[in-house]
C-alpha cells in the first residue's frame, strides 16, 4: 500500500517500495547519505550516485502513483531522463560516456541491490560497501520513542516508570504537531510506548497519522489481540511484546498478577504480532534477553540457535 508523500525540504525521501519502507536522509552534515530500510539500524551509507538514483526513484514513484496499473516503465523512464540530464552532457565523450542505456543498467543494478538487502541479504554480500557510521555527527536521531501515556493495566514490581500514572497527556492534535517537528528534522521512525500505549483510545488514529514514519509499538500485550487488526490496517510496521517468561505463571508473577491469564494472553499476542491472528504480512518477532536465555527448548518463541 502506498503511503502519502511527505517531503521535508531538507532532503528527506520516504516511500514504501515492494512492501519495504525506505527512508533516505540526504542532508547530514557529514555529507553522507543514510538509508533506513524498514527502520533497521544501522542504516546503509549510500554513495552519492546511489542516493541520487534512489531519490529519483522515490520522486518518480510519487509522481506517477495516481491511477491503477503498473507504473514501473514510467518511473524508470523518468529516472533515466533525470539522471541523463544531470550526467549525460557532463560525460558525453570517451570511455566514461554516459548513455541512457548505461543509466538504465545502473538503475537496475542499484535498485536490485537495495531490494536484496531489504529482503534480508547481507549488505556486504549484496555489494554495499561497509562504511563507518559516526552517529554523533547525525543531524537527528534514527528513532524517537513516544510515551503516549503513563497509564498501565499491569503492576510490574520492576516497573521503570518514574512518573505518576495519572497525569495530563498530550492530545491527538498535540501529537500531530510533534510529528511535524520530528519529520522536519529527519527522524525516520517513531515507537509508541508508555505506560501501556494501547490504553490510549486514539492509538490507532495516532498510528495512522504517522504513516510517513516507520512505526513500532511496545506493549505488554494484554490488549493487543483486540486491536491488532485495526493497527495493521493503520499501517503499523512492527510490534514488540514484552514476554517475561514462556511460563504463564512466572510471567504473571513478574507483572504483578497471580492467575496466569496475562501470560497466556501474552503468548497469543506474540503469535498475533508475528502474523498469525492479525494476518500481518511483515512477520517479525522480537524476543527479550530473558527469552533468549530461557531454558525451555520447546518454546515456540525461542530463537533458532
| Residues making contact with ligand SF4 (CB under 6 A) | 152, 154-156, 159, 161, 194-196, 220, 255
Query: Of 56, 77, 58, 75, whose CA–CA distance to 5 is shortest?
Result: 58
Given the complex with ligand SF4, which of 176 and 250 has the nearer CB atom? Answer: 250
Considering the complex, what minimum distance in angstroms separates the CB of residue 160 from ligand SF4? 6
Cα-based distances in Å from 242 to 155, 209, 252: 14, 25, 12
Given the complex with ligand SF4, which of 195 and 274 has the nearer CB atom? Answer: 195
Is the omega angle on the peptide bond into residue 147 within 30 degrees of 0, that is, cis?
A: no
Given the complex with ligand SF4, which of 220 and 269 has the nearer CB atom? Answer: 220
CB atoms < 10 A from the CB of 69, how many? 7
Considering the complex, what minimum distance in angstroms separates the CB of residue 229 from ligand SF4? 22
Given the complex with ligand SF4, which of 155 and 298 has the nearer CB atom? Answer: 155
Residue 272 and residue 149: Cα distance in Å, rounded? 23
Looking at residue 74, the DSSP 8-state letter turns out to be H
Given the complex with ligand SF4, which of 80 and 255 has the nearer CB atom? Answer: 255
Considering the complex, what minimum distance in angstroms separates the CB of residue 4 from ligand SF4? 32
Considering the complex, what minimum distance in angstroms separates the CB of residue 127 from ligand SF4? 42
Sign of the torsion formed by the C-alpha atoms of 158, 161, 163 and 165: negative
Considering the complex, what minimum distance in angstroms separates the CB of residue 196 from ligand SF4? 5
Amino acid at each position: 500500500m502506498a503511503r502519502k508523500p511527505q517531503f521535508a525540504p531538507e532532503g528527506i525521501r520516504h516511500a514504501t517500495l515492494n512492501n519495504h519502507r525506505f527512508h533516505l536522509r540526504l542532508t547530514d552534515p557529514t555529507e553522507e547519505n543514510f538509508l533506513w530500510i524498514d527502520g533497521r539500524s544501522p542504516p546503509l551509507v549510500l554513495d552519492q550516485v546511489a542516493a541520487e538514483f534512489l531519490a529519483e526513484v522515490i520522486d518518480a514513484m510519487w509522481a506517477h502513483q495516481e491511477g491503477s496499473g503498473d507504473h514501473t516503465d514510467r518511473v524508470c523512464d523518468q529516472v533515466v531522463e533525470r539522471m541523463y540530464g544531470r550526467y549525460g552532457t557532463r560525460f558525453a565523450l570517451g570511455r566514461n560516456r554516459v548513455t541512457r542505456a548505461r543509466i538504465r543498467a545502473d538503475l537496475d543494478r542499484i535498485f536490485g541491490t537495495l531490494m536484496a538487502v531489504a529482503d534480508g541479504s547481507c549488505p556486504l554480500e549484496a555489494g554495499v560497501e561497509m562504511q563507518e557510521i559516526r552517529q554523533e555527527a547525525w543531524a537527528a536521531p534514527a528513532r524517537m520513542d513516544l510515551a503516549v501515556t503513563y497509564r498501565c493495566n499491569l503492576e510490574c514490581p520492576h516497573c521503570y516508570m518514574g512518573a505518576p500514572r495519572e497525569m495530563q497527556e498530550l492530545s491527538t492534535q498535540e501529537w500531530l504537531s510533534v510529528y511535524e517537528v520530528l519529520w522536519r528534522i529527519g527522524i525516520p521512525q517513531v515507537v509508541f510506548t508508555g505506560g501501556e500505549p494501547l490504553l490510549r483510545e486514539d492509538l490507532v488514529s495516532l498510528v495512522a497519522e504517522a504513516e510517513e514514519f516507520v512505526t513500532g509499538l511496545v506493549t505488554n500485550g494484554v490488549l493487543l489481540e483486540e486491536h491488532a487488526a485495526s493497527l495493521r490496517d493503520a499501517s503499523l510496521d512492527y510490534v514488540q511484546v514484552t514476554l517475561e517468561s514462556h511460563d504463564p505463571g512466572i510471567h504473571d508473577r513478574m507483572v504483578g498478577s497471580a492467575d496466569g491469564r496475562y501470560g497466556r494472553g501474552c503468548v497469543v499476542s506474540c503469535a498475533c504480532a508475528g502474523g498469525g491472528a492479525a494476518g500481518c504480512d511483515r512477520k517479525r518477532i522480537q524476543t527479550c534477553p530473558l527469552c533468549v536465555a530461557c531454558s525451555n527448548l520447546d518454546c515456540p518463541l525461542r530463537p533458532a540457535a
